[in-house]
Amino acid sequence: MVDAAGLLEGARFVPSPNCDDRPRDTPVDLLVIHSISLPPGEFGGGAVEALFTNCLDPLGHPFFAEIASMRVSAHLFLRRDGEIIQFVPFHRRAWHAGVSRWAGRERCNDFSIGVELEGSDEQPFTERQYRRLVSAVTALQATFPLVAAAGHSDIAPGRKTDPGPHFDWSRLQVTGLPRHP
């Protein structure tokens, strides 16, 4: 269930400053699936949360120096153990898609919900992540007129590869939400 404040029931809310208002009269009709691990290929720890809240220590890992100044977020982050962290209320625009295009429309952040799965292009996602993703999508469909799901790679081809080849798109079929590149 999504409450009146735009928060997903059962998610831990950690507010990110990396968001703003969506354009008026813009329906939220796209779900964008991402994957992230920090440092790359490593799971667990608080680096993703730190990145999305502008608290990433650039000295914490050599890779962090490259990304610590980035101002990014997502609506949801699904850890490998199934925990869901929400960074941005759904009625606000999270900064997850960057330069992007879908169905002839630019600026996907304006009309999408961004979900990050803790993962990488090299490894399969967990059963718990898929179960929680389906549950979250079902709750979102009760609140928003979602018509499709797309990968970050679909809306930013050539620039992004996530969620990667190990994401099983058929797992979203139970929601009735089709993949639409």
Report the candidate in 81, 67, 76, 72 with the shortest Cα–Cα distance to residue 129: 81
The total of structural domains in the chain comes to 1
Band of residue 180 on the pLDDT scale cut at 50, 70, 90: confident
Question: Would 122 be classed as within a structural domain?
Answer: yes
Q: Is residue 77 part of a domain?
A: yes
pLDDT in tens, 76-122: 999 999 999 999 999 999 999 999 999 999 999 999 999 999 999 99
Residue 181 counted as domain residue: no
Q: Is residue 112 part of a domain?
A: yes
Does residue 170 fall inside a structural domain?
yes
Catalytic residue among 116, 118, 122, 127: 116
Return the ∠ at Cα 115 (arms to 112 and 120), rounded to 5°.
130
Let me know if residue 2 belongs to a domain: no
Q: Is 116 among the residues known to form the active site? A: yes
Domain CATH for 21:
3.40.80.10
Q: Which domain holds residue 33?
A: 12-175
What is the pTM for the complete model shown? 0.97
Q: Is residue 4 domain-resident?
A: no
Please give the Cα distance from 25 to 161 (Å, whole number).
31
- Within a domain: 7: no
pLDDT in tens, 21-65: 999 999 999 999 999 999 999 999 999 999 999 999 999 999 999
Cα 54 from Cα 37, distance rounded (Å): 16
